[in-house]
Amino acid sequence: MPTVLSGRALAVTATATALLATALGAHTATAETATATTDKVLVIGIDGTVLDRVKAADAPNLQGLMAQGLTARSTLYANPMAATSSGPGWSTIATGVWPDKHGVKDNTFTGKNYTAYPDFLTRIENAKPSLNTYAAADWEPLTSTDAGGPVFSAKVDKRLSLKGDRDGYGTEDPKIAAAASAELQGQNPDAAFVYFGQVDGAGHAYGAASRQYLDAIGRVDVMVGQLLTAVRNRPTYAQENWKILVTTDHGHTDAGGHGGSTPQERGTFVIARGAGIPAGSVRTDVKLVDVAATAMAQVGVDPGSAIDGIPLNAPGDNDPFDTLRPNLQGRVDETGIPAGVKGFTHTPPAGWSIDNSKMGTGGVTEWAGWAFATDEFWSQSQRDQWRELNVRSRDVFAVADSDEWDDKAHTGSYDSTLVTPTWAVTGGTVKNLTFRTHYRHEAGQSAQVLVSYNGGTPALVKSYTADAVAKTESLALQVPAGATDVQVRFRYAGTNNWYWTVDDVKLG
C-alpha cells in the first residue's frame, strides 16, 4: 500500500565545481564503465524561483548542476488558459500537459483532470509497478488531499506531506530535505520528486530583487546539496545512472508577486544533469512539460503521445524555423518590447519563402507580412490578448499579426502567404501534414492552408473560421495519381484583426 506521512553569476567558480564533484562524483564515468546500470531520476522543485537570481545567489550546487548539465529558460501561459500560480504550474510539471488538458487554472484546483492526465510518478507506477516512487513536499496540495490536491496521487509508493506555509517554509523545508535525503540514500527510490517552498515565500514577502530572496535561494541550495550528497552516498551508486532535474512553477516580479502575464511572472526554467546531456549546454526549445516526459523516459516508461512534453534526450525535431535564432533582430517600431530583446526576422529559412505581393505597404515593420519570432518577443508586443497562450510552439515560430501591423499608418490591407519548400511525394498515397498552430479569429480575416501538386493551382485544404488556440493540427493529404511533389501555403489576410502562428511544419 502507498504510504503517506503527515504532518554570482552563471560562471561557476572552482570552489563550486569542487563542491559539485564532492556531491555527485565522477558519475558519468562510473555510469558508463559499470557493466550494468539501473536508471533513476530525481526531480527537485523550487517554488517561485527566478533563474537570473539563481545565477546571482550564493548557490554552488545549483550553479554546479548548470555547469555540468543543461540550463533552459521556458515561459508559461497566462490567463485565460491559467494563472501563473502554483496550482497550474506544478500540475503542468507533474502531468506533462498544459492547463487546457489537466484543467487546473488557479490554486482552487477547480476543473482538475488528473484522472485523464495523472502525474509522472503515477504513470510510472501504472506502467512499471515494480519501480519505487517517492514524493515529498511541504505545499500540501502536491502530496495531500488538502486544498484541492493531491497532484501526486495515492498510487505513489510513499508520499511525505508537511504544512510549510505557516512560516514561509523556513521550518518545514529542512525537514523535507532531511527526510528525502534519508530516503534517497537509505532506501531504493527509482523516481522521486522533492519540493521546497521558501524561495516563493521570500518572493512574496520581499520581492525577487531583494537580498532576502537571494538568501532564500542560498538556503535551498544547501538542501539541494543534501539531496545530491545522499544520491552520491548510495551503496549502489556506482551501478546506477541518475538524472537530476531542477525546475520551478512560475517566476516573481522584482517587487514580489505572480499570477499575471509579465515575462517575470511567466519565467520558468529547467536545469538537468545526466548521461547524454552536454556539460554547460543551453537550450531555447525546452518547455516545462518536458520535465515529466524526461523523468518517465529515464526509467524506461515511454511517454508517447499522451502528454505534451518531449524527453530532453529525444532527437531534435529539426524545425527549420529554429535555425533562424542567430539571425533574429531587435525591435524597430514596437515600443513595448525591451530594446535588448532580439526576437524577429522576415528572412525565411532555406527553401521557404514569403509571398507579399498582395500585402499593403507601411504598418509596423516587425509584422509587415509573415515574420519569424520568439515568444519572449511576440508576446510582449501586446500582453493579455492570448499571445501568451501559444504554448505548443517551441523556440522560433512563424507569425502573421494584422492586429499589431495596423498600429502604424499603412495603405492597403494585410495579405501574406508563407510557402514551404517543395517536398517529394508519390501519387496515389496519403501524406499527413502536421503543424502546431495558434489562431485567434475575428470576422473580416481569413486563415487558409492551401496545397499544390507539381506546381499546379493551390487548392484549399483547411480554412479557420473559429479560434484554434495552441493546437497541434493534422491534415491528411490525398496525393493525386501522377503527382511527384507537393508545396503547402499558409495564407493569412485581414486588417486590424488578430493573428495566426505556425510552427514545426512536417509532411509525414
Rounded to an integer, the average pLDDT of 483-500 is 96
Task: Indicate the pLDDT class of residue 304, thresholds 50, 70 and 90.
Answer: confident
Rounded to an integer, the average pLDDT of 408-415 is 97
The per-residue pLDDT for 21 is: 42
The per-residue pLDDT for 180 is: 98
The per-residue pLDDT for 339 is: 93
For residue 168, pLDDT over 60 is answered with yes
The per-residue pLDDT for 227 is: 98
Task: Indicate the pLDDT class of residue 52, thresholds 50, 70 and 90.
Answer: very high
The per-residue pLDDT for 77 is: 98
Rounded to an integer, the average pLDDT of 491-499 is 95
The per-residue pLDDT for 383 is: 96
Task: Indicate the pLDDT class of residue 473, thresholds 50, 70 and 90.
Answer: very high
The per-residue pLDDT for 147 is: 65
- The rounded mean pLDDT for the chain is 92
The per-residue pLDDT for 145 is: 76
Burial of 399 (C-beta count, 10 Å sphere; 0-12/13-18/19+)? buried
Close Cβ partners of 267 (under 8 Å, ≥ 6 residues apart): 50, 51, 73, 74, 75, 76, 250, 251
The per-residue pLDDT for 166 is: 64
For residue 24, pLDDT over 80 is answered with no
The per-residue pLDDT for 306 is: 85
Q: Are 244 and 42 in contact (CB under 8 A)?
A: yes
For residue 308, pLDDT over 70 is answered with yes
**Between 362 and 149, the higher pLDDT residue:** 362
Peptide bond into 235 cis (omega under 30): no
Q: Are 412 and 495 in contact (CB under 8 A)?
A: no
The per-residue pLDDT for 477 is: 97
The residue behind cell 508537511 is 162
Rounded to an integer, the average pLDDT of 147-172 is 88
Q: Which residue, 364, 331, 368, is CA-closest to 347? A: 368
The percentage of residues in the chain with a pLDDT greater than 90, rounded to a whole number, is 88
- What residue ranges define each of the domains in the chain, with the CATH number in brackets? 3-298 (3.40.720.10), 320-507 (2.60.120.260)
Peptide bond into 150 cis (omega under 30): yes
What radius of gyration, in Å, describes the C-alpha atoms of the chain?
A: 24
Rounded to an integer, the average pLDDT of 16-29 is 41
For residue 73, pLDDT over 70 is answered with yes
- End-to-end alpha carbon distance in the chain: 45
Distance CA 89, CA 103 (A): 11
